[in-house]
Amino acid sequence: MTTKFVNFLAMSWFISILICLVIEGSSFGASETSVISDLSFLGPPISVGGLFSIPTFNLNFFNGIYRILTWDYSFYYGGYSIIRYFWMATLTTGAVWGIGSTLAPVFANFFRLFR
């Protein structure tokens, strides 16, 4: 998965949000802002005795990735659902293949360590 492809997916995601604003005539809805907050990698920090904080992992991160890969936008339901299925068939397949081909050697090397 090249950086150009990741940039293309990010741009298509942002353009979809802009299309959502134009079609619905509204600002960001709760579903769009929840995806953005889910994609923040770090969760709320844990304070240790008021001296320092430890960052935590956001467990909703993978939920945000899932919602992006399934094109879960409010305007892609109803009459525009065919566009959603088109994006899922073309772009999501490529993204999952790219993520899988990138992470497969990482997991293979990780499990090779414990052999």
pLDDT per residue over 70-101, tens digit each?
Answer: 877 766 777 777 877 887 888 788 878 888 88
pLDDT bracket for residue 1 (50, 70, 90)? low
CA separation for the pair 58, 37 (Å, rounded): 9
Query: For 30-58, what is each residue's pLDDT tens digit?
Result: 666 676 667 666 767 777 887 888 877 77
**Per-residue pLDDT at 21:** 67
CB atoms within 10 A of CB 97: 11
pLDDT the model gives residue 29? 63
Residues 6+ apart with CB under 8 A from 63: 38
Of 104, 85, 106, 108, the C-alpha closest to 96 is 104
pLDDT tens column, 13-34: 777 777 766 766 655 666 666 7
Q: What is the pLDDT of residue 68?
A: 76
Q: Is the pLDDT of residue 8 over 70?
A: yes
Mention every residue, 6+ apart, whose C-beta is less than 8 A from residue 17. Answer: 28, 32, 73
- Spatial CB neighbours of 13, under 8 Å, sequence gap ≥ 6: 68
**By C-alpha distance, which of 34, 80, 79, 83 is closest to 60?**
34
